[in-house]
Homo-oligomer: A and B are copies of this chain.
Amino acid sequence: MAQLQALAGDDTSASEFDRDTAVTPRPGEPGTYDLELSAGWTIIAAINGGYLLAAVGRALRDALPHPDPITVTAHYLTASQPGPAWIRTQTVRAGRTMSTGQASLFQADEEGREVERMRVIAGYGDLAALPAQVHTSAAPPVMPPYEECVSADDAPEGGPVTGSTAILQRLDLRLDPATSGWAVGAPSGAGDMRGWLGLADGRDHDALSLLLAVDALPPTAFDLGLKGWTPTLELTVHVRGIPAPGPLRVSLTTRNLAGGLLEEDARVWDSADRLVAQSRQLARAPRG
């Protein structure tokens, strides 16, 4: 019976990422999409910001004339909750090779009032149509092979994460041992985090899931010896190429913690050694 459902294209056959970022155009309201935020992408007490961005990115992909996110900026305004949500999109400018869009994610508060969770502005294009020329001096991170990196299953009890780790069940994440010392109380202090990142159900990455990938590793704050939640104020992602199949290598660095804020830079390489995404976020440093 389960097999029949899968053959019939039932939702249970879809990837967790695609299922949980699915958006439905709202009849009679062009540019508005309904969705259900899943608790499956929760970390500590919050829904992961990269997951939220991918969902908004999917709505913009439908609303805009170009298929791929090229540059996406999100401002996180209030804490999203699992459950019903809706996205309103606006086409700011539709050009020949790129279009610009804006989107807001909303939920209802306890009194039923609409509350804005995040606001996004984005440039979309067609990655496959860009010239193939690459001139790069960026090198992939030096890290051990996938088999020698550590998964959450290897972590001892305790550590800086108290609360939900639901998102770890969605990810195939293996951290470079050099940046996982924080899990046993020995952070390097450098502000680095590196790892291999796939999706647990084997779905390959694409341009949309790169919006998740840049924000899916543990925060660099852990490697600085800080504990607790690192709320993102703003996150900007540049998608620079369509990732080849296979796990990504993601490298995060924080170099400047000042005034209670820190930047977290992500660089993402695919299995063909191509730099497929860069991002920077500004986050509030944990107090711990």
Contact = CB atoms under 8 A, between A and B. Distances in A.
A258 B224 contact: no
A263 B234 contact: no
A223 to B, nearest CB: 12
Contact of A133 (B77, B132, B234, B260): B260
Interface residues of A, number: 47
Interface stretch (A48-56, A57-65, A148-156, A275-283): A275-283
Contacts of A258: 130, 133-136, 240-241, 274-275
A123 interface: yes
A100 B71 CA distance: 20
Interface in A53-91: 70-71, 73, 75, 77-78
A100 B119 contact: yes
A256 B138 contact: yes
Contacts of A9: none
A69 B75 CA distance: 14
Contact of A92 (B119, B190, B260): B119
Nearest to A120: B121
A278 B256 contact: yes
A206 to B, nearest CB: 16
Leading 10 A-B pairs by shortest Cβ distance: A130-B259, A135-B257, A138-B255, A73-B73, A71-B234, A134-B258, A136-B256, A236-B236, A71-B282, A77-B93
